[in-house]
Amino acid sequence: MEIPLWPSPHDPSRLGRPSRRAATAALETHIAVLKGDPLKAALANALRDAEGLGGQERRFVAMASRELSRHMRLLDLAARLLGHSHAKIVMTEDQALVRYTLWRRLFCGEGWTRIGPEVRLPGPVRPRTLHDAVLEGLVTKPLPEVPSSESESVADRLATRYSFPGWLTQRLADVYPEATLAGLMASLDEEPALHFRVRPAGTRDAVLAALAEEGVVAEAVPSSPDALRVADASHRIFETKVMKSRRLQVQDVGSQLIVQACVPPGGSLVGLTVADICAGAGGKTLGLADAVGAKGRVLAGDRSKRRLADARERVREFSLKQVTFPHPVPLEAVDVVLVDAPCSGTGSLAREPDQKWKLTAKAIKEFQTTQSALLAEVAAKVKPGARIVYATCSVLPEENDRVVEGFLAKHPDFALEPVGEGWPPELQVGVDGPYLRALPPRVPGGGFFAARLVRKPG
């Protein structure tokens, strides 16, 4: 399949408002990332230190910062074609300036008239060695044709276009057909849409109508029963009465489907006791709490005290009395255990694009070891008839199918119970055989996996 190498420019309404101060903050963020800081932390620091930025400028900073990490490989190719390879760019500040200038050209469709005031000397970052004429040339010179090679593989072509590491792209190419892979990589290479879960369940139409009355454009997402997507990029939804009344929770579609996968076939979670042992910041904990109802219980835990503190705060915010945080979590007493295992996060690269450059094959192997050990630890404690839902936000089989298959080979007292049994047709788009495999763009949002395991009676 033929995929154009150079992108179509973004819709300007999604970018926020560019300015010299915003460009400075975005560049400082990218420089910090190149020096080893996590993108989220670098962005938070840059926004904290920036003075006088308006809301639209702050949005531009966030978007530009993610985009510079997201498209590094393609931006660097453009720089090489224009005569500015990494070998000729020694300083990190210069490297960031080149990428920013080319991003504004290629992904925003801007010319030097708009880009120049954002990057010209003095500043926006110092020290630097690049003269303004060099940056202007990056914008005004035509991009040469990229020489085609018959030996270029599908993985090579997609890795360049969507700015993925070659080894990771090859791993994905070994699993997914070309069309599926191209769609997946394109989705993970985009700024993610804002998805919400409607509360209580089954009231999505009423919430959509209420949002429309408040002037917020939103639409139902068919692949999850209570999911909706906001088409308005202004984020006004957070100021609505609907949001302030806790009728909505920010949650990715695949994450909502993982909670759905915890529901026993033909039944419900109402009144049951559910454990969320890798609760993190509590996104799925909230969904499970709504699913078990006031008469059920959710026992939440996590090895990270910091992340669990966030979960406690969200539970208080939503006034969910059925959620407690025992330590250790008494798994012997629960009906369902959600093991949202630590993973590579390859399904979340749209939100954390810097991670794809930090991930290694060795790290994936280490995740697999941790996941298998965690699953075995939980299995040793649950009662007969209890269910374990193993989940990740990875799109790699090493962390998904193979962990489950390896577990079943060693634990004959467990059986794989197909996810999606009894689900309506619109939800089946996220089901692949016995597994939940929510892959974008078929299921919008990030990529997620879940398998349901039941301990045999006796």
Q: For 452, phi and psi rounded to 5 degrees?
A: -115, 125
Q: How far apart are CA 26 and CA 63, in angstroms?
A: 9
- In this structure, is the dihedral angle defined by the CA atoms of residues 105, 111, 113 and 114, taken in order, positive or negative? negative
Helix 401-410 × helix 361-379 angle, to 10°: 40
pLDDT of residue 19: 95
Residue pointed to by tokens 């093991």: 339
- 298 closest CA partner among 265, 259, 255, 264: 259
The tokens for 22 are 């915003």
Q: What is the pLDDT of residues 202-255, one digit of tens each?
A: 999 999 999 999 999 899 999 999 999 998 766 789 999 999 999 999 999 999
Distance CA 205, CA 240 (A): 16
Average pLDDT, integer, range 16-34: 96
Give the pLDDT score at 1: 62
Structure tokens at 387: 């269910």
* pLDDT tens column, 140-183: 999 988 766 666 788 999 999 999 999 999 999 999 999 999 99
Instruction: Answer for the pair 247, 196: CB distance below 8 angstroms, yes or no.
Output: no
Q: 3-state SS of the chain: helix, strand, coil percent to 5?
A: 45, 10, 40
Residue 456: is its pLDDT beyond 80?
yes
Can you tell me the distance from the alpha carbon of 448 to that of 267, in angstroms, rounded to the nearest whole number?
Answer: 23
Using pLDDT thresholds of 50, 70 and 90, give the confidence band for residue 11.
confident
Check residue 45 and give its pLDDT. Answer: 96
Cα–Cα dist 339/226, whole Å? 22
Contacts 24+ apart (CB under 8 A), 427-436: 427/223, 427/224, 427/225, 427/257, 427/260, 429/223, 430/223, 430/224, 430/254, 430/257, 435/400, 435/401, 435/404, 436/254, 436/257, 436/258, 436/261, 436/391
- Give the single-character DSSP code of 145: P
Q: Is 222 left (phi over 0), alpha (psi -120 to 50) or beta?
A: alpha
pLDDT in tens, 411-427: 999 999 999 888 999 89
C-alpha pair distances (Å), 231 with each of 204, 218, 220, 240, 451:
16, 5, 11, 15, 31
Pairing of strands 414-417, 387-392: unpaired
Dihedral sign of CA atoms 41, 46, 47, 49 in order? positive
For 316, the token pair is 């208080």
Terminal Cα distance for the chain, rounded: 53
Helix (H, G, I), strand (E, B) or coil at 132: helix
Nearest partner of 138 among 86, 96, 81, judged by Cα: 81
What is the residue-wise DSSP string for 356-374?
A: HHH--HHHHHHHHHHHHHH
Q: pLDDT tens digits for 75-134?
A: 999 999 999 877 677 799 999 999 999 999 999 999 999 999 999 999 899 899 999 999
Answer yes or no: are the C-beta atoms of 325 and 303 closer than 8 Å.
Answer: no
Q: Tell me the average pLDDT across 299-311.
A: 90
pLDDT tens, position by position, 348-386:
999 999 999 999 999 999 999 999 999 999 999 999 999
CA angle 29, 40, 243 (to 5 degrees): 125
The answer to which of 12-16, 323-327, 370-374 has the lowest mean pLDDT is 12-16
Task: Spell out the residues 6+ positions from residue 312 whose beta carbon is closer than 8 angstroms to its own.
Answer: 282, 325
* Dihedral, 243, 249, 253, 258 alpha carbons, nearest 10: -160
Residue 15 tokens, joined: 């970018």
> What is the rounded CA–CA span in Å between residue 171 and residue 400?
14
CA 38/CA 32 separation, integer angstroms: 8
Q: How many Å apart are CA 124 and CA 117, to the nearest integer? A: 10
Q: Which residues are within 8 A (CB) of 24 and not within 5 positions of it... i.e. 6 or more apart?
A: 50, 123, 124, 125
